[in-house]
């Protein structure tokens, strides 16, 4: 077993696939930095509000003063560019991971699964030797350069990607998805403006095919990516799936990030294999220079491809043991965390207890309204409209997420008690609809939320889901 682990983790493999992932990963984060820092309204997202919702245990993460947000995005763009070209890579990837994580933690109402995935990949890339090849670091420090790297970096990234893909299928084995919701709801919204090519997915038969096909793709296709004979056709199906998602839904860089990560599951030298394949096809002959693409790539890689696996890159037994333990512990945590909702009562899509960080992507559509009543000890009452304090996106998100409702109640407690001068009670009246269900009360309006601790189970002050889907078949 020890020999097999040593072979699995530390056998030398071609470094080019890891380098290509580094380049694509850095380019995608550079795009995000420019997109958010220049083209999106940061004031609308972060500053035009009296409250930023915080993740539990990360309440200390605050908004930088002045133009700090703009400077953070500028710094992240520079560090992402350095990751892409492999310049001062270790410093750059650490800075990128810290800045992206800070921005992610600023407001819980802006949670996106692909932001969480970016953080996971960024943390892994801190430890992975992705700058040994096709990088400026390898050019300025030839002693660092190597055409091969130990396999554990690719193994770590590949296993993490498989976990995400598998859970994306597992979480869809729920009553609502099997009854074609919320897919039917979303497609009905888009039926009028859908392109002719996508009209089929607005019909019930197409919605059913897409809903059940996604489950098969993830639960069957993801394991088949590990088998060399089926890897390429399954990957091409995944590419079609991700590109359709990119056109139909607004999900940012997620499709392209997942496609690039899935390529890690191919042979370590897949870029060289692809270059050779291109040179043998008509594409190269039509240019009038057969094999030109391969020669170009070989020329770019030439300063590194002749470098052998350097003895300086070998690791001591202590480091080897630490790497094996660290990777196994990381992957074990990633397997367990998405299942934590099973230990909590109730429907996770309704009470959100265990929804985040679980790859529960595109599983629910929730709409509702929440009103708050503040009662002071002297009998004075206020009816509070959250829109007076929050931006539009926060109001929509908070209405049906108990943890955000609780946080806003604490904010009202602090605001109306005048920092503890008066005793305050805060009650919430939340009416929500989950996946086309009839609206139902979410929060027990008799509970004073100002007295509830965040560590208490959410089911102690919320109602269970009792409404059925209007078109529920089983």
- pLDDT tens, position by position, 42-98: 999 999 999 999 999 999 999 999 999 999 999 999 999 999 999 999 999 999 999
Work out the average pLDDT over 285-293.
Answer: 57
Instruction: Provide the pLDDT confidence category of residue 474 given band limits of 50, 70 and 90.
Output: confident
Contact 459, 445 (CB under 8 A): no
Residues 118 and 10: their CA atoms lie apart, in Å, by: 25
Give the pLDDT score at 190: 64
Nearest to 53 by CA among 410, 456, 418: 410
* Structural contact between residues 430 and 409, judged by C-beta atoms closer than 8 angstroms: no
pLDDT digits (tens, 9 = 90+) for 346-357: 999 999 999 999
Lowest mean pLDDT segment, chosen from 45-54, 145-154, 195-204, 222-231:
195-204
> What pLDDT was estimated at residue 414?
93
Domain ranges of the chain: 151-268+315-358, 365-460
Q: Which residues contact 151 (CB under 8 A, 6 or more apart)?
A: 8, 9, 10, 11, 12, 13, 268
Instruction: Tell me what the mean pLDDT of segment 339-368 comes to.
Output: 94
Question: Is pTM, for the whole model, over 0.75?
Answer: yes
What are 293-303's pLDDT values in tens digits?
445 444 444 44
Round to whole Å and give the CA distance between 14 and 305: 9
Q: Per-residue pLDDT tens for 166-180?
A: 999 999 999 999 999
What residue ranges in 339-469 does DSSP mark as E strands?
366-376, 381-384, 424-434, 440-441
What average pLDDT does this structure show over 257-263? Answer: 97
């Amino acid at each position: 077993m020890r020999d097999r682990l040593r072979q699995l983790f530390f056998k030398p493999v071609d470094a080019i696939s890891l380098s290509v992932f580094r380049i694509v990963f850095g380019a995608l984060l550079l795009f995000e930095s420019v997109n958010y820092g220049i083209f999106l309204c940061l004031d609308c997202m972060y500053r035009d509000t009296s409250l930023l919702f915080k993740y539990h245990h990360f309440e200390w993460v605050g908004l930088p003063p002045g133009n700090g947000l703009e400077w953070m995005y500028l710094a992240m763009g520079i560090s992402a560019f350095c990751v892409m070209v492999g310049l001062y890579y270790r410093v750059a990837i650490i800075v990128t991971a810290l800045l992206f994580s800070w921005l992610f933690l600023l407001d819980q109402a802006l949670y996106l699964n692909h932001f969480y995935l970016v953080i996971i990949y960024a943390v892994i890339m801190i430890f992975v030797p992705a700058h040994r090849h096709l990088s400026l670091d390898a050019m300025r420090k030839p002693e660092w350069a190597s055409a091969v790297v130990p396999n554990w970096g690719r193994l770590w990234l590949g296993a993490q990607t498989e976990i995400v893909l598998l859970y994306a299928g597992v979480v869809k084995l729920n009553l609502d998805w099997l009854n074609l919701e919320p897919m039917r709801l979303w497609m009905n919204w888009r039926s009028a403006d859908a392109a002719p090519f996508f009209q089929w997915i607005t019909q019930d038969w197409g919605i059913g095919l897409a809903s059940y096909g996604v489950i098969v793709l993830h639960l069957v296709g993801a394991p088949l990516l590990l088998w060399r004979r089926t890897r390429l056709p399954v990957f091409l199906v995944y590419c079609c799936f991700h590109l359709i998602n990119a056109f139909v839904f607004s999900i940012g860089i997620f499709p392209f990030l997942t496609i690039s990560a899935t390529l890690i599951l191919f042979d370590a030298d897949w870029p060289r294999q692809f270059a050779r394949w291109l040179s043998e096809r008509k594409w190269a002959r039509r240019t009038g220079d057969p094999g030109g693409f391969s020669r170009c790539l070989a020329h770019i890689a030439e300063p590194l491809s002749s470098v052998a696996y350097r003895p300086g890159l070998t690791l001591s037994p202590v480091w080897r043991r630490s790497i094996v333990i660290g990777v196994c512990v990381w992957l074990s945590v990633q397997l367990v965390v998405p299942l934590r909702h099973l230990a909590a009562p109730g429907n996770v899509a309704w009470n959100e207890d265990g929804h985040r960080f679980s790859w529960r992507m595109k599983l629910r559509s929730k709409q509702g309204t929440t009103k708050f009543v503040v009662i002071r000890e002297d009998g004075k009452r206020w009816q509070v409209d959250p829109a007076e304090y929050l931006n539009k996106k926060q109001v929509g998100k908070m209405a049906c997420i108990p943890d955000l409702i609780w946080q806003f109640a604490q904010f009202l407690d602090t605001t109306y008690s005048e920092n503890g001068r008066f005793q305050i009670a805060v009650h919430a009246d939340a009416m929500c609809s989950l996946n086309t269900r009839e609206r139902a009360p979410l929060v027990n309006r008799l509970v004073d939320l100002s007295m509830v601790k965040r560590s208490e189970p959410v089911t102690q002050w919320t109602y269970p889901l009792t409404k059925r889907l209007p078109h529920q078949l089983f």
